Amino acid sequence: MNKWIYALALVSAVSTSAKAAECKFSPPSVVMHASVPAASQRLALAGPNRLELGLGQTPAILSHSNGVLIAKYGNGAILSSRQLSISAVRSEIDGALSLPDFIRLVFLGDAPAASSKDKLEAQAVRDGLSLECSQPTYSQLDNVDLFGYTQTRVSGDRYHGYYILDGNVVHYIDIRSTDAFAKHIISTLHKRN
């Protein structure tokens, strides 16, 4: 697994260890994604469905390095966007599932053709993300799946992670901000003309 996933898992485990005993994972129900027009700068996402989302407001700082776009806002919110590779998410790359199917397995608890090895690794990722306590979400926009989760960090900051499954491409958008700001940004996800 990627060092960032390990770091996320460690932070999540420390901050939610007391809650974990009280929470039980329940796969989210699918809802249709209702797009809201973006009245701000837009971020175009590479992939077969030509997706884009609004940045919410003009970032104070916009940086791009090593495939990661980072937007820092005047209100202290931070958004990052990157396209994931299978090695960034899985420790066992020789699993039977594609990356999009593996993400579905993590969030839904089942995927066609998932091996027992795939299921064990998905459970480890699910535990690392503390999905049982983070109220995961699942929405669809045409043939694009959007999975999300929210956590409160030890510092009290709200953290929102979104996996956007666009064909064989998986985008990861994370937003450190208020729930309302993150919800507004992700609500602008739509297909470009």
Name residues whose C-beta falls within 8 Å of residue 47's C-beta, 6 or more positions apart in sequence: 166, 167, 169, 171
User: Could you give the number of structural domains in the chain?
Assistant: 1
CATH of the domain at 70: 3.40.1000
Taking 50 as the pLDDT cut, the residues of the chain under it are 1, 3-20
Euclidean distance between CA atoms 126 and 20, whole angstroms: 12
Q: Say which DSSP state 111 is in.
A: -
**What integer pLDDT is reported at residue 133 of this predicted model?**
81
Instruction: Give the pLDDT of residue 96.
Output: 76
pLDDT tens per residue, range 23-64: 777 777 777 666 666 667 888 899 999 999 988 888 999 999
List the domain range (segments joined by +) for residue 46: 3-191
pTM value? Answer: 0.81
pLDDT for 95: 73
Closest CA to 141 of 51, 54, 47, 26: 51
Q: Could you tell me the CA-to-CA distances from 48 to 24, 165, 167, 189 in Å, in that order?
A: 35, 10, 6, 15
How would you classify the pairing of strands 61-65 and 51-54?
unpaired
C-alpha to C-alpha distance for 188 and 162, rounded to whole angstroms: 13
